[in-house]
Amino acid sequence: MASPLQSGTPQQAPAPSAPITAPSRYLGRQPILDAQRRLFGYELFYRAGKIDHFSGDPDLATREVIDHWLLLVPDSTRTASFVNCTRTTLVDGLVTLLPPESTVLEILPTIEPDPEVIDCCLALKKQGYRFALDGFLPQSSRTPFLRFADFIKIDFLAADFDLRRAIYAMAAGSGAHLLAEKIETDIQLRIAVSEGCTLFQGYFFSLPVLLCSPTIPQNYFVYLKLLAALHHSPTDLRKIEKLISADASLCYRVLRLANSALQAHPGIISTIREALLMVGDEPVRKMVTVAMAGALTAHRSLPLISMALSRAQFCEFLAPSLSEQPAQFYLLGILSLLDVLLETPLPRILQVLPIPPAMKSALEGDRSAACRALELVRSLEACDWNRCEQIQHQLGLAEGAIAAMYAQSLRWASTMVSQELLP
């Protein structure tokens, strides 16, 4: 088979084996245990790097934790995730990107119980979110928070016996579980148990474990256009679908949101449009907002972005010839590089995506037409013309058509990537 990249067509995308480097993202996670030392959940901490302590702006940190959660924490877990919240992230509703059934929102001592905050918390409570009062102190100003508190955290390093006794007296009748935090010795644990605490957290059990994952390349141009489209009324669903489909990290986040939305209504998602209809405009707006929090410092692997886009576009072009849906094949092409983007095993990624079983099987390497389509585009990327010819005959495709589709896909991807570089 002759090379389809002759006669001035665009240069081929880099082969998947090309080395890819990207900065890492970090998320601290410390276990919370019950009296029998069984895992109850984890508190999630923002970490700017490998050093195990917080530094930075609290609002930005909470946004980063939310976005990291979408990328790093599998939906399959049913343990509780305790997330520190600022007033801004509560009132703006950014925390609603996290699934209510497994999320505990921690009210920090710096948050005042003004009417707007209380109304917001009550609304979140109705959606199924649970609340923990972090570093709780027996002050009358904190009383309004007790009406919806599920957990009250007592700092055993900062609170002496008299202060703890005052906390217990104030919390009596609230129905909230007492969570002893910063437990560092066996004696502290015994005291906490004797005082009625039922959940425990601290260095005595475990230091925070650092979760690490490489940053997914971000397309800033797409983010800006998407935010503009999402704030236009009426919403142009086709335009939003097109913009999200041009960025692999956005595709992944939207599918994660759709997966959370499907918890009460089991089903599958076959296209980005179906995911958008399932999620709704407002959650997508919030998702883009928190994703942009880390975008300013994100590493841009333009060759990888180009490969993902050209692969998706080629699969979309190929779909009608195989009697398949173009939108589904576009999604298939984007997802085929997520394990490289995330440096995460493909089975773990597929575990959290609500896509059809047939699509998962194709990504895992079955012998379906969808899988052969991926094999074909990988062979084109690697300039393996013999393999291209074999697959082409197996699928009953014309050589000239394949060359034209691939050249057009590369041109389109090149255009999309070059737009990002414009001032």
- pLDDT at position 408 is 92
Mind listing the pLDDT tens digit for each residue in 153-173?
Answer: 999 999 999 999 999 999 998
| Cα separation, 179 vs 182, whole angstroms | 10
Average pLDDT, the chain: 80
Q: Provide the 8-state DSSP code for 16.
A: T
pLDDT at residue 4 in the model: 46
Range with lowest mean pLDDT among 2-16, 97-111, 144-158, 218-232: 2-16
Q: What is the identity of the amino acid at 42?
A: Y
The answer to whether residue 355 scores a pLDDT higher than 90 is no
Residue 198: pLDDT band (50, 70, 90) is very high
pLDDT tops 80 at residue 73: no
Q: What are the tokens at 130?
A: 């649970």
The residue among 269, 251, 249, 250 whose CA lies nearest residue 259 is 269
Q: Which pLDDT score, from 0 to 100, does residue 264 have?
A: 55
CATH 2.70.180.20 assigned to domain 220-420? The reply is no
Spatial distance between the Cα atoms of 236 and 287, rounded to a whole number of angstroms = 18
34-38, 95-99, 228-232: range with lowest mean pLDDT:
228-232
Q: Reply yes or no on whether the pLDDT at 138 is more than 80.
A: yes
pLDDT surpasses 90 at 332: no
- Residue 114's pLDDT band, with cuts at 50, 70 and 90, is very high
Q: What share of the chain is helix, strand, coil (3-state, %, to 5)?
A: 50, 15, 35
Identify the pLDDT of residue 29.
85
> What pLDDT sits at residue 236?
83
Q: Report domain extents, the chain.
A: 25-213, 220-420
CA dist list (Å): 347 to 137, 139, 331: 45, 49, 17
Task: Give pLDDT tens digits for 359-371.
Answer: 889 999 898 999 9
Region 312-338: mean pLDDT is 87
Low-confidence winner among 59-63, 88-92, 397-401 (lowest mean pLDDT): 59-63
Higher pLDDT: 420 or 177? It is: 177
Of the candidates 143, 178, 144, 175, the residue with the CA atom closest to the CA atom of residue 164:
178
230 vs 9, residue with greater confidence: 230
Greater confidence, 344 or 376? 376
Q: Of the ranges 200-204, 208-212, 400-404, which is most confident?
A: 200-204
Architecture of domain 25-213: Alpha-Beta Barrel (3.20)
pTM given for the model = 0.65
CB 47 within 8 A of CB 26: yes
Give me the percent of the chain exceeding a pLDDT of 90: 32
Q: Using the Cα atoms of residue 69, residue 72, residue 76 and residue 79 in order, give the sign of their dihedral.
A: negative
Q: Are 286 and 88 in contact (CB under 8 A)?
A: no
> pLDDT, tens digit, for every residue of 259-273?
776 655 567 788 888
Give the per-residue SS3 of 253-320: HHHHHHHHHCCCCCCCCCCHHHHHHHHCHHHHHHHHHHHHHCHHHCCCCHHHHHHHHHHHHHHHHHHH
Residue 375 confidence (pLDDT) above 60: yes
Q: Which amino acid is at 138?
A: P
Under DSSP, the state recorded for 10 is P
Tell me: pLDDT of 351 over 70.
Answer: yes
State the pLDDT at residue 249.
Answer: 77
162-193 burial, b at 16+ Cβ within 10 Å, e below that, comes to eebeebbebbeebebbbbbbbbeeeebbebbe
pLDDT of residue 6: 42
Which of 52-56, 209-213, 308-312: highest mean pLDDT?
A: 308-312
Biggest CA–CA distance in the chain, Å, is 83
> How does residue 409 score in pLDDT terms, banded at 50, 70 and 90?
very high
Check residue 125 and give its pLDDT.
94
| Burial status of residue 361 (CB atoms within 10 A of its CB: 0-12, 13-18, 19 or more) | middle
